[in-house]
Chains A and B, each alone.
Chain A
């Protein structure tokens, strides 16, 4: 494509908006996979679950999903805690390493996906929020609310969780628990409870990411599979345990995708985005903000 500043600025803007949403998708992976060492491959399935809850909210109850998202996130949080208890009971308690859990999460992924098929059917679902149908223009840059709102929500969620992690005792304990579970007890914290809370946050964030997803595009039960690669790639690119890193990585991936899409042909954008990941790993194996 011919170069123009107009295109460039818009590509960057779109990339940032996309990145904000990707960040929301990857937060839970960074927490569960990066910090807790739980390879929750079913994370995208939880995201789709969130999308369907949002769908239910507006079409069943007539409540704006941005309003009910909080309630769903809390439900997700509680569900995540229960879920972690089970995971703990079956795997961690016995000292098995996280690889063992992988097959387990594949199973969960199928269960969630097919349960959604059985409850909601297989049709594409979407929600329509008329107030998001607007596009703002700042100079030459176009900001469609449909993408901007999820971006803002995603970034806000990430910032909130990051503040929680760095400012609160439980948050710091979450960072510590992956490194030496038993040692967390020596400061008077219950590591299982700490991990439970962290996993709850991860699932809660997945639910919110799901709400954002269905605002952006139409969703069917198996669509989560498409996000596995991106979510894990962002987590790793960001340095595994770092939420700011996750945000930066998400933005980089988003901008790489939109830039490629604008100037070189969209077909190559996954290759560019994931090639970027490979290159980063080759030169900085610990990711961007890896410790």
Chain B
């Protein structure tokens, strides 16, 4: 039996608006964690309760939500919603109250604040900027003959901008020639013009940094227009979700994309498969991403870490928790996690996967190994990289 009032964990999270797809998926994972913990008797013998409010994908609602969570609801712990904008909007309030802040997918959000109780779950590592293109370029340079030219394209938004900045840096270091470097505005519908303009510059590599609807738009346009590049893909958010995978189906073959998890033999962390099974049962009901590869395991792991810290320090004291989290290497369903001083993963683990052998639009195939072959980093490599793009597309 549990004793004492529940331990309350508060957050604002996008349940409506443009970020809701990820927000809801993350929330579901966290709710599963709460259920798991409560089934085992809670934390410190107390039940765990999530207190969450819809931030409507609008960061302007966030300061109020966190002030309310901390001052009025008096939650014991806070975690962030998805993503950078919302995290940063909460930072002043959270910092003022000196709360430990576990965050979901903040891009270098703590670089300016240097808050020592900030911990970030996306495995970007200390230098997020360059990480999203590192795998891509690394694999690209392994091709024979070596590529010489690259096209960079991405959306006019935070993540794509940062990923492109990093890509430019990496490309420069490698001495590749940039033949196309343009961005497209949010809510672009027609990507054929973009792809045609890229094609006319004849690049060896095409690196894309995009959000879900444009990721799909780009892939489709590439198939419709045709592209002779040796390698195509990059930091394309959305290709991790079942919705786009099933929509695009065989069009994905050959595309390389960054990912955070793939059901490959190299990624069989403790508990993750069990988690995904349970997640999928719920997700189908709620209209949330039914695969759950992208954000869900990390959201679950986030609370695993917080929970472990509470149990280990036997305390809800933010200072103690922060110290413990800094000092510990955690084994989670998302693998082994250790944080560096600014709260990023000490070792980045951005994967690069290549879609191979996709046939039809059935969702089940994406749960199998061998369809999203990990080609980078070497530690998790699960198959061979196929190139050029046209050949890999078969």
- Do A and B touch directly, given a CB cutoff of 8 Å in the complex? yes
CB under 8 Å from chain B, chain A span 196-218: 216-218
- Within the complex, the shortest CB–CB distance from A266 to chain B, in Å, comes to 3
The reply to whether the CB of B158 lies closer than 8 angstroms to some CB of chain A is no
Q: Please tell me if the beta carbons of B188 and A266 are within 8 angstroms of each other in the complex.
A: yes
As a 0/1 sequence over residues 216 to 239 of chain A, the CB contacts with chain B under 8 angstroms (1 = contact) are 111011110010000000000000
Nearest CB of chain A from residue B292's CB, rounded to whole Å: 11
A103 CB to nearest chain B CB (Å) = 18
As a 0/1 sequence over residues 20 to 56 of chain A, the CB contacts with chain B under 8 angstroms (1 = contact) are 0100000000000000000000000000000000000
Query: Among the listed B16, B200, B238, which residue makes an inter-chain contact with A117, where contact means beta carbons less than 8 Å apart?
Result: B16
One digit per residue, 1 when the CB lies within 8 angstroms of any chain B CB and 0 when it does not, for chain A 249-288 equals 0000010011101110111011000000000000000000
A147 in contact with B217 given A1-B197, A123-B287, A142-B224 (CB within 8 Å): no
B41 at the interface (CB under 8 A from A): no
Q: A222 contacts B243, CB within 8 Å?
A: no
Residue from the list B23, B192, B243 in contact with A124, Cβ < 8 A? B243
Pairwise interchain contact B361-A128, C-beta atoms closer than 8 A? yes
Which residues of B9-46 are within 8 A (CB) of A?
15-18, 20-21, 23-24
Chain B residues, Cβ within 8 Å of A146: 220, 224
CB atoms of B224 and A144 under 8 A apart: yes
Across the interface, B241 reaches (CB within 8 A) one of A4, A114, A117, A123, namely A123
Q: Which residues of B contact A119 (CB under 8 A)?
A: 287
Q: A121 on the interface (CB 8 Å rule)?
A: yes
How many residues belonging to B are interface residues under a CB distance threshold of 8 Å? 47
Residues of A contacting B: mostly: helix
| Docked-complex contact B18 and A217, CB < 8 angstroms | no
Tell yes or no: B96 within 8 A of A by CB.
no
Q: Tell me which residues across on chain A come within 8 A of B156, comparing CB atoms.
A: 267
A122 at interface by CB-CB < 8 Å: yes
B187 CB within 8 Å of chain A? yes
Contact indicator B185/A121 (Cβ below 8 Å): no
CA distance A119 to B18 in the complex (A): 16
* Nearest-Cβ distance from residue B27 to partner chain A, whole angstroms: 11
The answer, yes or no, to whether A126 is at the interface (CB within 8 Å) is yes
The residue on A at minimum CB distance from B285 is A121
A14 interfacial contact with B, CB 8 Å: yes
Given contacts A121-B287, A223-B213, contact A267 B183 (CB under 8 A): yes
Interface size class of A (residues with CB under 8 A): 35 or more
- Measured CB to CB, the nearest residue on chain B to A213 is B189
Are B185 and A262 interface neighbours, CB within 8 A?
Answer: no
A11 near B: Cβ within 8 Å?
Answer: yes
Is A18 an interface position by the 8 A CB rule?
yes
A68 CB contacts on chain B under 8 angstroms? none
Name which of B15, B196, B213, B242 has the most chain A CB atoms within 10 A of its CB: B196
The verdict on B249 contacting chain A, using a C-beta distance below 8 Å, is yes
A122–B26 CA distance with the chains assembled, in angstroms: 12
Q: Does chain A have a CB within 8 A of B225?
A: yes
B-chain residues with CB within 8 Å of residue A17 when the two chains form the complex: 190
Chain A residues with Cβ under 8 A from B197's Cβ? 1, 7, 261-263
Verify if A162 is at the interface (C-beta below 8 Å from B).
Answer: no
Question: Are A267 and B247 interface neighbours, CB within 8 A?
Answer: no
User: Does B190 lie within 8 Å of A18, measured CB to CB?
Assistant: yes
- By a CB distance below 8 angstroms, the chain A residues around B196 are 7, 10-11, 262
Any A CB within 8 A of the CB of B267: no
Task: Mark interface residues in B181-210 (1 if CB within 8 Å of A CB, else 0).
Answer: 011111111101110110011000000000
Asked if B244 is at the interface (CB within 8 A of a chain A CB), the reply is: yes
How far does the alpha carbon of A170 sit from the alpha carbon of B196 in the complex, in Å? 46
Q: Does A180 lie at the interface of the complex (its beta carbon under 8 Å from any beta carbon of B)?
A: no
Q: Which B residues are CB-close (under 8 A) to A87?
A: none
Does A120 count as interface, using CB distance less than 8 angstroms? Answer: yes
Q: Are A218 and B192 in contact (CB under 8 A)?
A: no
Contact A218 B194, beta carbon cutoff 8 Å: no
User: Is B289 positioned at the interface, with any CB of A under 8 Å from its CB?
Assistant: yes
Within 8 A of B (CB), among A3-18: 4, 6-7, 10-11, 14, 17-18
Contacts of B21 in A (CB 8 A): 122-124, 220
B216, CB-defined interface residue at 8 Å? yes
Chain B: minimal CB distance from A117 (Å) = 6
**Which residues of chain A are near B249, meaning CB under 8 Å?**
128
Smallest CB gap from B215: residue in A:
A218
Q: How far is the CA of A263 from the CA of B197 in the complex (A)?
A: 7
Min CB distance A21 to B, Å, is 8
Across the interface, which residues of B come within 8 angstroms of A267, CB to CB?
Answer: 156, 182-185
Chain A residue contacts of B244, Cβ below 8 A = 124, 126, 218
A125 touches B243 (CB 8 A): yes
B189/A18 in contact, CB under 8 A = yes
| Distance from A284 Cβ to chain B, minimum over Cβ atoms (Å) | 26
Could you tell me if A226 and B224 are in contact, using CB atoms closer than 8 angstroms?
A: no
Max chain A Cβ within 10 angstroms of own Cβ: one of B192, B216, B238: B192
A135 contacts B by Cβ under 8 Å: yes
> Footprint of A on B, CB under 8 Å?
15-18, 20-21, 23-24, 57, 156, 182-190, 192-194, 196-197, 200-201, 212-213, 216-217, 220, 223-225, 238, 241-244, 246-247, 249, 286-289, 361
Between A and B, 8 residue pairs with Cβ closer than 8 Å are A123-B242, A144-B192, A144-B224, A218-B247, A220-B18, A221-B20, A266-B193, A266-B194
Q: Please give me the 10 A-B residue pairs with the lowest Cβ-Cβ distance, nearest first.
A: A121-B287, A266-B184, A122-B20, A226-B187, A144-B224, A126-B247, A261-B193, A124-B243, A258-B193, A265-B182
7 new A-B contacts at CB < 8 Å, known A126-B247, A218-B212, A265-B182? A126-B216, A126-B244, A135-B225, A147-B192, A217-B217, A261-B190, A265-B183
